[in-house]
Every structure is written in structure tokens, then in C-alpha cells.
């Protein structure tokens, strides 16, 4: 297999983007990413686009082809990937495989989602149904379960088994609010104290309004290419893709053997570490899925950074904060930077690319050599993990 490098990366400002439709969001990420790569757009041989639900939120399907045409590349082959919240990670993995296998030399990976829809176009109940379509509708989400209630159950079980506390969840959320306050691309760029989080209205116990992922519009893009191409571009700051993992777990929450471990994450991480020939202790900075405050704590356990049940204590000791032993979600994560579902996995890649290129400004992790990204899709049934490294060109 050929070596694969990231030579261009960019993302849009995240938020309730009333000023931007899908085409504008695509352009805001893709055009600067191509410019960052230093290539002519005609060198792009394929576009792999991640999107969760434009067919309902925006009445638009076949979105990858729309993206290609709107970017002036109507004859480039395109594919849209949908894996709920893991869509971006899965799209990136497939582009990586295509280049490593010699099918293409240069691929543009895009993630985009426009989730803020005016109520006069679709009422709140309808939009909630659209959002829940990534979970088993007939047997679970259709009878009352949604993302918040599901992960609340997981959190309660973790609390019961390991003594994780409400304060630990709030502490993790507050940490990510701080990181987002340093990120000019984040939706909510302000700090929120642990005390305020604990006093905020409850969405689904134990989660307050400050501990849930945000309904967000946004886009992100990266350009992947071969080692020879990167060398030809004189890309001294190209980022190498060292490892890629893709794991699965039960789509039915009821049939799982554990509700405090995501088997999909464990499997994806094992594959990525093996491919990269690295261990968890080698990683310097992480972007992991934090759809709710608890999720990050569970994920850093499943990714092997701490012993199962110790995630809350690890966070409370300050290790996951900028300046700590293992900074996690330097972008602000899903609960502060925002969660434009199909975009999120690609946005994580952008953040870690910037970290490894020393371009993360106020969020910069000093001397970061290895970075890891992790997304979790639907009810935790799909996970994609990637390990990136500083350029060896």
C-alpha cells in the first residue's frame, strides 16, 4: 500500500448559518483547502463527501455530485457517505484506502451539514424525527428513545458501575467550552463554568443544556494525496496518515453486552494502532466524539488512554485540558465547536492537521507529534479512528 498524506485542510465557521446554503458551505471549506494544498482543482480525481441527512433537512440528495458541479468539477467521480455521526470519518477512511491502493492519486474529502431549518419550513417535531433517523426507528427511537435519553442511560450505568459523578461530566463540558473560546471556527466561543453547567436546565438526566451537542451548520475539507505528489508540491508540512480503523457494534441498544463500552470504538482503535505501530501512550493530542459530556469520558477509556471507569478522574485532574498530559478536543468538541453531523469527522481531521502543522494558534499543543481522531455513529454502532503524524518528508 502507498503512503498517504494530507496536503490541504480547511473548515467553515460553525453555527446557525442563516447566511449560507449547502453550496456556500461547501465552497467555504473546499476552496481554501484546495488552495492550501497548492494544487489546481483539476488535479482532484475524486470527491468523497460525508453527509448525514440533506435529503430531509435540505430536500437534497445526490449531494456529492452537487458539490462537484458547484466547485466547477462536474466530471469528477463522486461518492456520498452516510454513517450518522461517523460519516466524516468513514468518508476519510475510504479516500485513504483508494489512494493507498493506487486507485486515485489525489482525493478531496468533504463533510457538510446544514441542520438549522426555519420552523415555517419544517416544524420542530418533524426536525426531531429527522435527527433521530440514525437510530433504530421501529424499535427504539420511534417509541421514545433519542440520542440524549440513550446516552443518559449509558452515563447512569457508568456512574453506577464506576462511581463517575455529575461534577465530572460538567467539568469535561466546561473544559471544552474553554477550548472553543480559543477557536475562531467554533459555534459557541465562550467559557462556561462548572457551576453554571450544573445549574442549567436538564435535557435528559444527567445532561443539562450545556452538555449536549449543538444543532449546527458547517463544513470541512481535506486534500489527500500520495507521497510522491506531496514531495512534488514541496509540502514540508504535509501530515501523514499513519493508521485507520473502522469498527462496528450492535445497532440495537437492547442487545448489547455492555452499555459502558462501545465495541465499535475498541475495534476501530485496535486496527488503527496496529496499522500505525503505535500505542495509546504515544498519542499527544486527541479529537474524540463528545455528543454529550459523558461520551468523551467513555471514549478516552475505550481508546485505551485510561483504565475503564477512570475517565472522569483523569479529566478532573486536568489531563485533558490544554497544557495537560493528553489534551482532548482542542477544537471545543461537539458540545461547543458544534456538531454538523456529516462534517464532524472531517472537521476533527482538520483540527489535528493544524495541530501537527503548528497552525492551531491559541489552541496549539506544543511539540505534538502524533494525533488521533475518533467518531462514533448512530447509537454507537459505527466508529472510525485515525492516527496522524507529523511529516517525515
Q: Is there a domain that residue 129 lies in?
A: no
Q: What is the pLDDT of residue 129?
A: 77
Question: Among residues of the chain, what percentage have pLDDT more than 70?
Answer: 100
Examine the residue annotation and report whether 85 is marked as an active-site residue of this protein.
Answer: yes
Selecting among 158, 179, 339, 386, the annotated active-site residue is 339
Nearest residue to 193 via CA among 175, 214, 166: 175
Selecting among 10, 85, 246, 289, the annotated active-site residue is 85
Find the domain containing 68 and state its range: 4-120+215-232
pLDDT band at 128; cut points 50, 70, 90: confident
192 plus 339 within the same structural domain: yes
Q: Is there a domain that residue 47 lies in?
A: yes
208 plus 223 within the same structural domain: no
For the chain, helix (H) and strand (E) counts, in that order, are 13, 11
75 plus 147 within the same structural domain: no
279 plus 304 within the same structural domain: yes
304 plus 342 within the same structural domain: yes
CATH number at residue 195: 3.40.47.10
Task: Compute the average pLDDT of residues 15-28.
Answer: 97
pLDDT band at 121; cut points 50, 70, 90: confident
Q: Is there a domain that residue 130 lies in?
A: no
Do residues 376 and 259 touch, judged by C-beta distance below 8 A?
no
Measured CA angle at 303 (ends 265, 310), to 5 deg: 120
Q: C-alpha cell of 229?
A: 505528489
Answer yes or no: pTM beyond 0.95.
Answer: yes
Q: Is there a domain that residue 135 lies in?
A: no
CA distance 314 to 307: 10
Counting the structural domains of the chain, the total is 2
3-state helix, strand, coil in the chain (%, to 5): 40, 20, 40
Edge-to-edge strands of the sheet including 239-248?
78-81, 46-50, 106-113, 218-226, 4-11, 239-248, 382-389, 370-377, 285-287
Q: What is the pLDDT of residues 317-339, one digit of tens each?
A: 999 999 999 999 999 999 999 99
pLDDT exceeds 90 at position 139? no
Amino acid at each position: 500500500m502507498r503512503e498517504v498524506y494530507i496536503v490541504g485542510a480547511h473548515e467553515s465557521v460553525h453555527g446557525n448559518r442563516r447566511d449560507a446554503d449547502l453550496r456556500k458551505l461547501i465552497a467555504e471549506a473546499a476552496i481554501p483547502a484546495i488552495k492550501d494544498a497548492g494544487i489546481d482543482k483539476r488535479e482532484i480525481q475524486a470527491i468523497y463527501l460525508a453527509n448525514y441527512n440533506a435529503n430531509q433537512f435540505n430536500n437534497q440528495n445526490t449531494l456529492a455530485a452537487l458539490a462537484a458541479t458547484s466547485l466547477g468539477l462536474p466530471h469528477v467521480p463522486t461518492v456520498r457517505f452516510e454513517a450518522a455521526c461517523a460519516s466524516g470519518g468513514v468518508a476519510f477512511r475510504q479516500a485513504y484506502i483508494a489512494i493507498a491502493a493506487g486507485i486515485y492519486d489525489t482525493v478531496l474529502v468533504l463533510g457538510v451539514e446544514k441542520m438549522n431549518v426555519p420552523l415555517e419550513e419544517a416544524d420542530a417535531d418533524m426536525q426531531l424525527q429527522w435527527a433521530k433517523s440514525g437510530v433504530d426507528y421501529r424499535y427504539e427511537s420511534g417509541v421514545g428513545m433519542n440520542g440524549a435519553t440513550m446516552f443518559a442511560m449509558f452515563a447512569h450505568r457508568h456512574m453506577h458501575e464506576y462511581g463517575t459523578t455529575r461534577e465530572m461530566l460538567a467539568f469535561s463540558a466546561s473544559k471544552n467550552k474553554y477550548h472553543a473560546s480559543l477557536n475562531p471556527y467554533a459555534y459557541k466561543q465562550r467559557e462556561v463554568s462548572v457551576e453554571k453547567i450544573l445549574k442549567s436546565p436538564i435535557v435528559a438526566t444527567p445532561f443539562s443544556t450545556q452538555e449536549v451537542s449543538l444543532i449546527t451548520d458547517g463544513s470541512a475539507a481535506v486534500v489527500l494525496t500520495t507521497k510522491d505528489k506531496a514531495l512534488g508540491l514541496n509540502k514540508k508540512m504535509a501530515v501523514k496518515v499513519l493508521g485507520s480503523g473502522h469498527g462496528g457494534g450492535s445497532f440495537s441498544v437492547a442487545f448489547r453486552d455492555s452499555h459502558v463500552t462501545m465495541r465499535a470504538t475498541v475495534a476501530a482503535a485496535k486496527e488503527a494502532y496496529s496499522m500505525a505501530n503505535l500505542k495509546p501512550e504515544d498519542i499527544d493530542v486527541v479529537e474524540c466524539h463528545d455528543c454529550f459530556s459523558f461520551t468523551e469520558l467513555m471514549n478516552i477509556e475505550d481508546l485505551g488512554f485510561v483504565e475503564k471507569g477512570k475517565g472522569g478522574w483523569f479529566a478532573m485532574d486536568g489531563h485533558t485540558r490544554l497544557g495537560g498530559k493528553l489534551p482532548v478536543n482542542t477544537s471545543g468538541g461537539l458540545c461547543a465547536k458544534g456538531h454538523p453531523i456529516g462534517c464532524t469527522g472531517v472537521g476533527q481531521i482538520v483540527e489535528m492537521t493544524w495541530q501537527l502543522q503548528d497552525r492551531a494558534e491559541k489552541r496549539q499543543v506544543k511539540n505534538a507529534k502524533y494525533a488521533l481522531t475518533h467518531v462514533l455513529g448512530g447509537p454507537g454502532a459505527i466508529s472510525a479512528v485515525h492516527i496522524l503524524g507529523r511529516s517525515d518528508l
